[in-house]
Chain A
């Protein structure tokens, strides 16, 4: 199985900050990488698919990059509604696997 490792596991930041979350795959997955946001008590929401494609309706302050084994999710200017848990997920192979999550908290 492909292991997905996110860093950091948690992050404190302030409104207006630029934030980067990293996701590393245990083997090359090309660009088969997606990012989700999850708020407490809610289902995950797709932000980015195919490593860098922004899902419709998602604010442009979110962006994704990377290929192979190393990927990043960047939020250019944090807004109050962005404090949540973020997950990466690979679709290169089955089983689909997720990173352990990065909890983004208010500083």
Chain B
């Protein structure tokens, strides 16, 4: 069974740091792009960052650039999100998601499936 399980969330003060982890199982982790997606309380979904299979390419939403770092350890089949200089607006449930893909008519189609159950990060004093 394909599974993703996040951990590392919690309460942190503004300006603090936190490291999220996502343990993957049931699929060849090293063959997939992986992403972090967050959801603030009562709000919609926001993509945060993604990372290529070998870690050579990483992309971020503008609001976290320079503060968050995505990484992966293919030997441990794990994805990470290092979050620094946290702000109140970073409060959210953070999901890790596999980016499944399909090559069709010379274009790569990507989608998020599956998702983990999420871990809550609360930034508050």
Contact = CB atoms under 8 A, between A and B. Distances in A.
A45 B115 CA distance: 7
B44 A91 contact: no
Interface residues of A, number: 26
Interface size class of B (residues with CB under 8 A): 20 to 34
B35 A96 contact: yes
A98 B59 contact: no
A1 B116 CA distance: 26
A15 B97 CA distance: 31
A95 B115 CA distance: 18
Interface in A51-107: 55, 87, 89, 91, 94-101
A34 interface: yes
B50 interface: yes
- State the majority secondary structure of interface residues on A: loop
Nearest to B104: A50
Interface of B: 35, 44-47, 50, 59-62, 95, 100, 102, 104, 107, 109-118
30 contacts: A30-B107, A32-B110, A36-B45, A36-B112, A42-B117, A43-B114, A43-B115, A43-B118, A44-B112, A46-B111, A46-B112, A46-B113, A49-B102, A49-B109, A50-B104, A50-B111, A55-B113, A87-B44, A87-B45, A89-B45, A89-B112, A91-B110, A91-B111, A95-B60, A95-B61, A95-B62, A96-B110, A98-B44, A98-B46, A99-B44
CB-CB nearest 8 A-B residue pairs: A43-B115, A96-B47, A46-B113, A49-B111, A91-B110, A34-B111, A98-B45, A50-B109
